[in-house]
Amino acid sequence: MRKSVRVMLALPALIVVLFVTGISVHADAGPKPSVTILVQNSGGEKYYLDLLVPFDGEYSNISEDEKDEYDPDMLGVLEEYESGGWYAALSRGTNVPLFGDLEGVEEDGVLRHRFSYIIPERFKVIIVDADLDVMISDEISPKVFNETIYLDYESMEMRRVEQGFLPYLKQFAGTFIPTIFIEGVLLLVFGFSLRKNWKVFLLLNLVTQIILTVVMSLVLINFGLITSYFIFIPVEVVIILIEAVVLTKMLKEHRTSRRLIYALIANLASAAAGFVLIPYWFGNIFG
C-alpha cells in the first residue's frame, strides 16, 4: 500500500507538468480561430474574395511579393473600396494581423477561402470579378472557434455549416474507451472483482464522461484549444471528487481506504491520459 500511496502522490505532479508543458507549447503555436468560406456556383469565373470589416489599419496583411502575383486592377478595387466605413481586410489592411486567401482553392466542387489568426467579430464578404464588378454579402458574425460558411456566388447568400452530432460522439468515444481501459485495469490491480463491481464502474464512468464531453465540446468549439486546457483541470477535479465519493461507498470488497486510494489513482491516471488527448480532440474532431 505504501507504493500505491507514492504513486497517488506522484500523479498530481505529472498532471501539473503536462498542464504547464501543454500551455507553453501551444501558447502561440496552437490553433488560431478561423473562418472558411466555401464558394459555390462560381462557374469557373476568376474572382478575388475578401472580408469587409468596419475598420481599417496600417497592418499589411499582403506582402509586396504577394501583391505582384495578383491582378493589379482587381486588387486595386479591393484596396480602394470603402462604403459606410467598411473596408477590405486583407487588401486594405487592419489594425491586427489577419491571414487569408483572396483566390480560392478548389476542394470537392467548391472554392475554399480560409481566414485565420485574428478573426473580426463581424464582417461581410466582398467579391470582385475580372470585369471589376463588385458583389457584397450581408453581415455575419462567427459563432464558433472554427467557422465554416457556404457562399453562393450568384446570390451572395451565406449558410453556416453545422457541426452535427458526430463530433460529440467521437469525442465521447475518445475519452470513454481509454478511461474504461485504464480504470478497469487498475480495478483488477487493486484486487477488486470486475464481476461484482462492473455495474457501478460502468454506470459511473458513463455519467462522468458525458459531463466531460459536454463541457469540453462547448469549450473547444467556442473558445478553442488553449482555453480548454484551463477548463479541463477543474472539470476533472469535480469528476475525481464525484467518483471518489461514489466508489468509496459502492464498491464491493476491501476496506474503505483501499477503495478511496483506487478511486484517486484510477481517476488521476485517466485524467492524465485525457489531458494528453486534448490536442487530438481539437485537431481531428473540432479543428
> What string of DSSP letters covers 195-222?
HHHHHHHHHHHHHHHHHHHHHHHHHHHH
- Asked whether residue 42 falls in the same domain as residue 129, the answer is yes
Q: How many domains does the chain have?
A: 2
Is 273's pLDDT higher than 70? yes
Digit-coded pLDDT (tens) for 78-95: 999 999 899 999 998 888
Decide if 55 contacts 123 (C-beta within 8 A). no
- Asked whether residue 25 falls in the same domain as residue 49, the answer is no
- Asked whether residue 269 falls in the same domain as residue 173, the answer is yes
Q: 146 in a domain, yes or no? A: no
pTM of the model: 0.61
* Chain Cα centroid distance, residue 218: 9
Q: 151 in a domain, yes or no? A: no
Q: 50 in a domain, yes or no? A: yes
- Asked whether residue 192 falls in the same domain as residue 280, the answer is yes
Last residue in a domain, options 108, 141, 174: 141
- Asked whether residue 173 falls in the same domain as residue 280, the answer is yes
Q: 147 in a domain, yes or no? A: no
- Tell me the CA distances in angstroms from 199 to 35, 111, 192, 204, 265, one per residue in order: 45, 51, 13, 8, 20
Q: 15 in a domain, yes or no? A: yes
Q: Is 93 helix (H, G, I), strand (E, B) or coil?
A: coil
Q: Are strands 82-83 and 98-99 parallel, antiparallel or unpaired?
A: unpaired
Give the list of residues 6+ apart from residue 21 with CB closer than 8 angstroms, or none.
Answer: none
- Asked whether residue 174 falls in the same domain as residue 270, the answer is yes
- Mean pLDDT throughout 226-250? 87
Average pLDDT over the chain reads 82
pLDDT value at residue 79: 92
Amino acid in the structure at residue 161: V
Q: Among residues of the chain, what percentage have pLDDT more than 90? A: 40
pLDDT value at residue 62: 86
Digit-coded pLDDT (tens) for 4-45: 444 444 444 444 444 444 444 444 445 567 889 999 999 888
- Asked whether residue 253 falls in the same domain as residue 177, the answer is yes
Digit-coded pLDDT (tens) for 172-224: 887 888 899 999 999 999 999 989 999 999 999 999 988 888 888 777 766 76
Last residue in a domain, options 107, 141, 175: 141
Is 57's pLDDT higher than 50? yes
Q: 152 in a domain, yes or no? A: no
Domain range for 112 is: 34-141
pLDDT value at residue 284: 53
Measured distance CA(242)–CA(123) in Å, rounded: 44
pLDDT value at residue 31: 56
Give the list of residues 6+ apart from residue 48 with CB closer than 8 angstroms, or none.
Answer: 70, 71, 74, 75, 78, 91, 102, 103, 127, 128
